[in-house]
Amino acid sequence: MQVKYLPEKHIRDSALCLLAKYGERFGPVERPPIPVEEILEAHLELQLGFDDLAKRLGVPDVLGATWVRDRRVLIDQSLDPTQHPLKEGRYRFTVAHEIGHWELHRHVYQADANQPSLFDGPDKPSIVCRARSGKDRQEWQADTFSGDLLMPEDMVYLAWEERFGSLEPYVAVDEIADLSAKWGLGEDDHKPTVAAARELARVFQVSGQAMQIRLAELGLICTQVPPPDLFSRPGTIVRS
Partner 1 sequence: MPGNPEFGKRIRGLREARKKTDPSFSLRRFAQTVGISATYLSKVETCEFPPPASDKIKRMAQLLGEDPDELLALAGKFDPALSEIIREQPKALADFLRTARDRQLTDEDIEELTRQIREKK
Would you tell me which residues interact with partner 1 (CB under 8 A)?
26, 35, 37-38, 41-43, 45, 47-51, 77, 80-83
Identify which of residues 43 and 105 has a Cβ nearer to partner 1 in the complex.
43
Q: How many whole angstroms separate alpha carbon 214 and alpha carbon 156?
A: 9
Torsion region of 66: left, alpha or beta (phi above 0 gives left; psi -120 to 50 gives alpha): beta
Identify which of residues 123 and 187 has a Cβ nearer to partner 1 in the complex.
123
Q: How far is the CB of 225 from partner 1 (least distance, A)?
A: 42
Identify which of residues 30 and 45 has a Cβ nearer to partner 1 in the complex.
45
Instruction: State how far the alpha carbon of 182 is from the alpha carbons of 126, 179, 188, 192, 210, in Å.
Output: 43, 5, 16, 10, 21
Q: How far is the CB of 83 from partner 1 (least distance, A)?
A: 5
Q: How far is the CB of 113 from partner 1 (least distance, A)?
A: 22
Q: How far is the CB of 70 from partner 1 (least distance, A)?
A: 12
Q: Which amino acid makes up residue 162?
A: E
Residues 6 or more apart whose CB falls under 8 angstroms from that of 13 comprise none
Q: How far is the CB of 74 from partner 1 (least distance, A)?
A: 8
How many Cβ atoms sit within 10 Å of the Cβ of residue 175? 18
Q: How many whole angstroms separate alpha carbon 171 and alpha carbon 184?
A: 21
Q: How many whole angstroms separate alpha carbon 171 and alpha carbon 223?
A: 7
Q: Which amino acid makes up residue 236?
A: T
SS3 150: helix
Q: How far is the CB of 40 from partner 1 (least distance, A)?
A: 8
Closest by CA position to 196, among listed 238, 235, 156: 156
Closest by CA position to 132, among listed 56, 183, 59: 59
Identify which of residues 44 and 201 has a Cβ nearer to partner 1 in the complex.
44
Identify which of residues 91 and 160 has a Cβ nearer to partner 1 in the complex.
91
Identify which of residues 48 and 108 has a Cβ nearer to partner 1 in the complex.
48
